[in-house]
Amino acid sequence: MAKSYDVIIIGAGPAGMTAALYASRANLSVLLLDRGIYGGQMNNTAAIENYPGFKSVLGPDLAKDMYDSATQFGAEYAYGSVESVEDQGAVKVVKTDSDTFETKAIVIGTGSEYRKLGVPGEDTYGGRGVSYCAVCDGAFFKNKHVVVIGGGDSAIEEGSYLTQLASKVTVIHRRDQLRAQQILQDRAFANPKMEFVWNSNVTEIVGDDKKVTAVKVNNNKTGEDSEIAVDGVFIYVGINPITKPFGNLGITDENGWIITNDHMETKVPGIFAVGDVRKKDLRQVATAVGEGGTAGQGVYNYITALGDQVKN
């Protein structure tokens, strides 16, 4: 028989862990599922400077503190890659790669993942000079030249972090100005180790039998092609929602982002969504935590209403 819970929370990032805290504190049985370690993208962040109560905190440290808080009232944690979710009305069925569970409510907090450039050499040199995580791989490029591709918050934050290790960080951006927050831009422009290549697209990542050696670049204004010798390539060109297992539920937009109301409810009763997987403007730890609290309380209200319907 499938093991049963009041609520299953899919994804153990800050939003999912907060939902687990609120739901379990309301005396609901909670399973927190994730395909990897708890914390989500916090584990890839060197320092978080905009989470209230902390001037600066290491991402993995904040993840551990949130996990300890989320499980203190009995929420269970399990590894599992969710393959499908079936809505059977008052009962939902969650199938992973190894188990099947039944639940009254679901909170989806699967987050998002970095988008690939889709150029020759990107997959070939994955783990051999191509990376999407400066905190994870930056130490391999100490005193070396790396490029960062992108112009948003992630690209500039991670580029700034890399200057602590690399000899030089070259930011390649397809536009003539950055999209990152102004404070991040100011820091980057003031950093002597950072330089910028504007109006340019990387068309190929080049290497030898062992590692990356260069990137080929096309200037989208002049049409000029060039090649930059580098030791590493860090890519930050956007994110995609992780929502493939939920495609049958009809809760996503055309790009895969889950649509909810202000109560984190999807159009399917009993299914909520929180964090970076939602269609929204701001994706931050602070907003994820708020959404998790809202969903945790919403789950309690939903299950209480289900009980009242049964009694009547």
For the cut 90, the answer to whether the pLDDT of residue 38 exceeds it is yes
Is the same domain home to 201 and 101? no
Q: What is the pLDDT of residue 310?
A: 54
Is 122 part of a structural domain of the chain? no
Spatial distance between the Cα atoms of 142 and 145, rounded to a whole number of angstroms = 9
Q: Does one domain contain both 243 and 99?
A: yes
Residue 280, domain extent? 3-114+239-311
Convert the pLDDT of each residue in 49-62 to its tens digit: 889 999 999 989 99
* Residue 85 domain flag: yes
Average pLDDT over residues 266-273: 98
pLDDT at 137: 86
Q: Summarize the confidence of residues 204-219 as an average pLDDT.
A: 97
Which tops the pLDDT comparison, 49 or 82? Answer: 82
- Residue 47 and residue 18 share a domain: yes
Could you tell me if residue 246 is inside a domain?
yes
Count structural domains, the chain: 2
Q: Which of 193, 216, 235 is the last residue of a domain?
A: 235
Which one of 235, 265, 298 terminates a domain? 235
- CB 61 within 8 Å of CB 43: no
Q: Cα 8 from chain centroid?
A: 19
Whether residue 125 lies inside any domain: the answer is no
Mean pLDDT along residues 240-247: 95
Average pLDDT over residues 105-121: 95
Question: Taking a C-beta distance cutoff of 8 angstroms, is the pair 17, 67 a contact?
Answer: yes
For residue 74, being part of any structural domain is answered with yes
Q: What DSSP string runs through the chain?
A: --EEEEEEEE--SHHHHHHHHHHHHTT--EEEEESS-TTGGGGG-S-B-SSTT-SSB-HHHHHHHHHHHHTTTS-EEEE--EEEEEEETTEEEEEESS-EEEEEEEEE---EEEPP---TTTTTTBTTTEES-HHHHGGGGTTSEEEEE--SHHHHHHHHHHTTTSSEEEEE-SSSS--S-HHHHHHHHH-TTEEEE-SEEEEEEEE-SSSEEEEEEEETTT--EEEEE-SEEEE-S-EEE--GGGGGGT-B-TTSPBP--TTSB-SSTTEEE-GGGBS-S---HHHHHHHHHHHHHHHHHHHHHHHHHHH-
> Has residue 44 got a pLDDT over 80?
no
Q: Is pLDDT above 90 for 106?
A: yes
Looking at the structure, do residues 9 and 76 belong to the same domain, yes or no? Answer: yes
Q: Which of 185, 219, 235 is the last residue of a domain?
A: 235
Give the per-residue pLDDT at 287.
Answer: 95
Question: What is the CATH number for 16?
Answer: 3.50.50.60
Enzyme catalytic residues:
133, 136-137
The alpha carbon of 228 is separated from its chain's Cα centroid by a whole number of angstroms, namely: 30
Q: Is the pLDDT of residue 276 over 60?
A: yes
Residues 269 and 207 in one domain: no
**List of long-range contacts for 261-267, beta carbons under 8 Å, 24+ apart:** 262/294, 263/294, 263/295, 263/298, 264/107, 264/291, 264/294, 264/295, 264/298, 265/298, 266/108
Whether pLDDT at 311 is above 60: no
Let me know whether 245 and 201 are in one domain: no
Residues 228, 244 within the same domain: no
pLDDT at 302 over 80: yes
